[in-house]
């Protein structure tokens, strides 16, 4: 049953990272209070919350405390304890439910559900051991990518195999359990669609973003994606189909590969606001965080539209000092830093958003700023 949550009531967030922080800031604009559960006392979300519960995500007492102080509960990342979330949904209002986390935590169930939604994924096989992988590998052929079923992000927990001679490289992945091996997709671009849906089935997608990665970590998102209208239409339709199939409430990021012939293959899902949607804070008529709050609180959704072309670029640990040194040179840059204590190399510390009338000029500006030089 969809409930309406009103300003003055409390939104509980499991996870205290930057996504929780930006969600909390959006919610506070509408007058909500925020409670956060995170093991870190100095978490980015904790810094802007009204109530902090410092405990592991699977701590039953802490989850009960979160339920007690919150009128609605959401989460900011998917690697939380499914069983704990399931129990929490029995004693608190968790409109997203626990099932979406169960599905997206495991690459095997995720791929199966995407297929059930009627949208394409790369050809893949499931293997519970390295011996089974050897027996099945001809079904996908080479090159292929072997990925752990659980965990793994920013390129971790996976290995690319070019031939049978490489098979040994995949063996350590099975220490973590079952794996999938999927055929390598010769894509021309990677795009993502942020689809958001409330409990009444009202659904909107943010403008489609084009993603550029460096060292398996998202570097830039360019919006609108530099693809054909056919691709935009297909991508939006595919995201909406998946959202409907999963009976989504809240936010789902759908990452996709664009092939040479303008067809699409779905890569993976994230059941929460996503790094590639950060551009929407300045670039869109409604941000992914404001829309997420509306969706989980049972409010009507707003139709997003792009103000003007936008580029979002990630700020990792090694970029913080160089960025700080050139703030005066780039008055058009919107700078977001997440309040993380330590600026570690390759750790996401913030992002910059740039609204532009000339995307290529802006990409050159980013490149020549010296901040992101390799």
Determine phi and psi for 173, rounding to 5 degrees: -60, -30
Identify the band that residue 155 occupies on the pLDDT scale cut at 50, 70 and 90: low
Give percent of the chain with pLDDT exceeding 90: 94
Q: How far is CA 80 from the centre of its chain?
A: 14
Grouping H, G, I as helix, E, B as strand and the rest as coil, residue 177 is coil
Identify the band that residue 368 occupies on the pLDDT scale cut at 50, 70 and 90: very high
Question: How far is residue 190 from each of residues 3, 155, 171, 218, 270, measured CA to CA in Å?
Answer: 36, 14, 28, 11, 15
Is 198 within 8 Å of 301 (Cβ atoms)?
A: yes
Token code pair at residue 21:
């922080």
Domain range annotation of the chain: 10-94, 123-183, 189-368
Topology (CATH level 3) of domain 189-368: D-amino Acid Aminotransferase; Chain A, domain 1 (3.30.470)
Q: What is the CA radius of gyration of the chain?
A: 21
Identify the band that residue 157 occupies on the pLDDT scale cut at 50, 70 and 90: confident
Is 295 within 8 Å of 301 (Cβ atoms)?
A: yes
Write the DSSP assignment of 136-147 as a string of letters. Answer: HGGGT-SSEEEE
Q: Residue 1's pLDDT is what?
A: 74
Give the pLDDT confidence of 290-316 residue by residue, as tens digits. 999 999 999 999 999 999 999 999 999
Peptide bond into 224 cis (omega under 30): yes
Q: Do domains 10-94 and 189-368 have the same CATH topology?
A: no
| Of 28-42, 144-158, 349-363, the least confident | 144-158
Mean pLDDT of the chain: 96
Q: Residue 152's pLDDT is what?
A: 64
Identify the band that residue 37 occupies on the pLDDT scale cut at 50, 70 and 90: very high
For domain 10-94, give its CATH number from 3.40.50.20, 2.60.40.2480, 3.30.70.2390, 3.40.50.10470.
3.40.50.20
pLDDT for residue 106 is more than 70: yes
Identify the band that residue 232 occupies on the pLDDT scale cut at 50, 70 and 90: very high
Give the pLDDT confidence of 249-295 residue by residue, as tens digits. 999 999 999 999 999 999 999 999 999 999 999 999 999 999 999 99
Q: Residue 373's pLDDT is what?
A: 80
Determine phi and psi for 135, rounding to 5 degrees: -70, -30
Q: Residue 153's pLDDT is what?
A: 61
d(CA 210, CA 222): 5
Identify the band that residue 348 occupies on the pLDDT scale cut at 50, 70 and 90: very high
Q: Residue 81's pLDDT is what?
A: 86
| Residue that the structure tokens 């509980």 belong to | 12
Topology (CATH level 3) of domain 123-183: Dna Ligase; domain 1 (3.30.1490)
């Amino acid at each position: 049953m969809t409930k309406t949550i009103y300003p003055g009531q409390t939104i509980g967030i499991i996870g205290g990272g930057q996504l929780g922080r930006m969600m909390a800031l959006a919610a506070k604009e509408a007058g909500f209070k925020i409670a956060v559960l995170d093991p870190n006392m100095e978490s980015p979300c904790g810094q802007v919350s009204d109530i902090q519960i410092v405990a592991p995500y699977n701590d039953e007492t802490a989850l009960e405390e979160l339920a007690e102080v919150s009128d609605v509960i959401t989460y900011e990342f998917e690697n939380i304890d499914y069983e704990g979330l399931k129990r929490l949904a029995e004693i608190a209002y968790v409109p997203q439910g626990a099932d979406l986390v169960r599905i997206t935590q495991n690459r095997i169930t995720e791929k199966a559900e995407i297929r059930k939604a009627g949208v394409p994924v790369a050809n893949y096989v499931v293997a519970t051991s390295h011996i089974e992988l050897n027996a099945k590998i001809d079904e996908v052929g080479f090159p292929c990518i072997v990925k752990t079923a659980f965990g793994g992000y920013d390129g971790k927990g996976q290995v690319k195999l070019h031939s049978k001679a490489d098979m040994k490289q995949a063996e350590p992945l099975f220490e973590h359990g079952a794996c999938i091996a999927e055929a390598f997709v010769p894509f021309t671009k990677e795009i993502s669609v942020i689809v958001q849906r409330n409990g009444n089935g009202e659904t909107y997608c943010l403008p489609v973003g084009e993603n550029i990665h460096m060292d398996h970590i998202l570097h830039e998102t360019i919006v609108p994606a530099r693809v054909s209208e056919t691709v935009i239409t297909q991508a939006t339709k595919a995201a909406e189909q998946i959202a409907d199939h999963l009976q989504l409430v809240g936010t789902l990021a759908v990452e996709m590969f664009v092939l040479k012939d303008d067809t699409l293959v779905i890569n993976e899902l994230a059941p929460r606001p996503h790094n590639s949607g950060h551009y929407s804070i300045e670039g869109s008529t409604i941000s992914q965080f404001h829309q997420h709050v509306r969706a989980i609180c049972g409010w009507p959704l707003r139709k997003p539209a792009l103000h003007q072309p936008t580029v979002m670029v990630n700020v990792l640990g090694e970029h913080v000092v160089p960025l700080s040194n050139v703030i005066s040179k780039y008055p058009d840059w919107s700078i977001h830093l997440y309040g993380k204590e330590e600026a570690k190399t390759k750790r996401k510390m913030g992002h910059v958003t740039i609204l532009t009338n000339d995307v290529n000029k802006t990409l050159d500006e980013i490149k020549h700023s010296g901040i992101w030089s390799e």
